[in-house]
Amino acid sequence: MHALVTGAAGFIGSHLTDSLLADGHRVTAIDSYTDYYDVGIKRRNADSFRDHPQCTMLEADLLEVDLGELLGPIDVVFHQAGQPGVRLSWGEGFSVYNDLNVLTTQRLLEASRTTGIDRFVYASSSSVYGNAARYPTTETDLPQPMSPYGVTKLAGEHLCVLYARQWGVPTVALRYFTVYGPRQRPDMAFNRLARAALTGEPFPLYGTGDQIRDFTYVDDIVEANKSAALVDLEPGTVMNIAGGGAARLGDLIELAGELAGQAVVLDRQPVAPGDVARTGGTIERAVDLLGWKPATDVTDGLRAEIDWMRVILG
């Protein structure tokens, strides 16, 4: 397989690139190194594969690069790139989310239509559900995003389904549920929680801590992506990729303290606009179609992230 990984220097993209190379595949890795967070972190993420003999690392903007040329030799596209985060997607920030989450996806799909690929795997998000009518949420439940970010991820999904139906582009969209683990972005809750647990710095808790999330370890996300690239799927398939069980944020704060050996100090903040009270998804479709299920529970996963943070902190 010759894979294209977009957003390859990011949290999930870097893990996916490492895993594909370890499996013996050839990878073209592309990242524009946007400044949503410290670019130096992304460059360190790419250190493990930048000079790998089976990897071509490109620093380029998907809105500007010649996608026909880029996709010419590619068998599978893993589209991980995009502007993440709920809080900055409001107001003037929305134009960036539209460019990086919607227009970029459309350009890649259009190029895939004309160049021909075996599979287009799109990184979607549980944010498309918003405050769902029931839990666990199934793929047939009505998406009702609670943030502009969620709207852009849903738009990308709809584009994948549209290009599959109209042009036969072999797309599959994976709805990730709160991914965590080593290399997690510094703005994400578990990264900040691991740092706070080890340093004694206050952890910003938005709301009461009663939020419930379905947390999914990054290695499980990687395995779902690889399975989605290789198994026979109907073009336009959409499926949840979730941790298999939901947990209360307050309980996980206590767990982090136990794993780190000291209680976490809290900096209580109001609920952030666009944050939902609960996420949780059924994974029957992923089990049936991909033969996939999560292998890492939240205790082991959080321990791995705290261990990684210890190394980062020195």
| Catalytic residue set | 149
Residue written as token pair 């895993």: 19
68, HSE (Cβ side, Cα atoms, 13 Å): 1
> Which pairs with CB-CB distance under 8 Å and at least 24 residues apart come from 87-91?
87/272, 87/273, 87/274, 88/36, 89/147, 89/148, 89/149, 89/152, 89/274, 90/147, 90/148, 90/273, 90/274
292's enclosing H/E stretch is none
Note the helical H segments in 168-296: 189-199, 218-230, 249-260, 284-290
Which H, E and C letters describe 7-31, residue by residue? CCCCHHHHHHHHHHHHCCCEEEEEE
Alpha helices in 130-266 (DSSP H): 148-167, 189-199, 218-230, 249-260
Determine the Cα–Cα distance for residues 28 and 58; give it in Å rounded to an integer. 7
Instruction: Compute the distance between CA of residue 277 and CA of residue 207 in angstroms, rounded to an integer.
Output: 9
**What is the spatial distance between Cα 194 and Cα 162, in angstroms, rounded to a whole number?**
40
Rg of the chain over CA atoms, in angstroms?
A: 19
Count the Cβ atoms, other than its own, within 10 Å of residue 59: 12
In three-state secondary structure terms, 285 is helix
